[in-house]
């Protein structure tokens, strides 16, 4: 890891913490043993993380916030900060090797920005290496918008949660294990 990426990771984590959506910490139930997976192989993720079938999401949020695209982008970006190789693909069904299948399982985000209360995004993911499950997680992040939350819209606040989740997933990928709880997930 270069000094530049190390300090960038610290700055990003500090900014996320100050702005109200947390992030950047290792999951508290993380085992101390490193995973036996090969970190030199790229991990394949969807370029647009889907909503789980049947997930109730306000229509405006689904159409305007691009949560799936942004989550994929933030995972990739955060993984770069941790010197981890991510490859985005539009279709995961035929992907081989290390494949991280993620779904957005819940979005709580009424219109009205910070004035309509906190917002949250929940995700679940399973990491497979050549078809064998090597790790799984549930992640969740809440935000009220941070310091300037009253001036932010719903998509902006949900975007903060998705960005923190992207960092959570990238950190978990360094040491994946089963049944992890990321961020605010209980």
| Interval 31-55: pLDDT, tens | 443 443 445 689 999 999 999 999 9
Does 161 fall in a domain? yes
Reported as half-sphere exposure (CB side, CA atoms, 13 A), residue 39 has a value of: 15
Q: What's the pLDDT band for 83 if we cut at 50, 70, 90?
A: confident
Query: Residue 58: its pLDDT value, please?
Result: 86
Does 129 fall in a domain? yes
**Averaged pLDDT score across all residues of the chain:** 78
Domain enclosing residue 172, as ranges? 3-25+39-183
Does 128 fall in a domain? yes
Q: What pTM was estimated for this model as a whole?
A: 0.76
| Interval 162-172: pLDDT, tens | 999 999 999 99
Does 33 fall in a domain? no
Count: domains in the chain: 1
Does 169 fall in a domain? yes
CB 180: neighbour CB atoms within 10 A?
24
Does 30 fall in a domain? no
Does 44 fall in a domain? yes
Does 31 fall in a domain? no
| Interval 91-120: pLDDT, tens | 888 888 999 999 999 998 765 544 455 789
CATH classification at residue 12:
3.40.50
């Amino acid at each position: 890891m270069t000094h530049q990426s190390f300090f960038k990771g610290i700055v990003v984590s500090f900014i996320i913490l100050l702005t109200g959506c947390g992030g950047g910490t290792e999951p508290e139930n993380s085992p101390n043993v490193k995973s036996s997976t090969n970190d030199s192989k790229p991990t394949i993720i969807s370029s647009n993380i889907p909503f789980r079938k049947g997930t109730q999401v306000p229509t405006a949020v689904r159409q305007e916030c691009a949560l799936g695209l942004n989550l994929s982008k933030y995972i990739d970006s955060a993984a770069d900060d941790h010197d981890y190789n991510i490859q985005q693909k539009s279709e995961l069904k035929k992907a081989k090797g290390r494949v991280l299948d993620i779904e957005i399982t819940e979005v709580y985000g009424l219109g009205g920005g910070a004035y309509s209360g906190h917002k949250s995004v929940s995700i679940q993911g399973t990491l497979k290496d050549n078809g064998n499950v090597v790790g799984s997680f549930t992640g969740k992040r809440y935000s009220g918008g941070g310091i300037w939350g009253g001036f932010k819209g719903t998509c902006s606040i949900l975007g903060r949660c998705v960005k923190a989740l992207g960092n959570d997933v990238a950190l978990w990928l360094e040491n994946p294990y089963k049944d992890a709880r990321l961020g605010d997930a209980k």
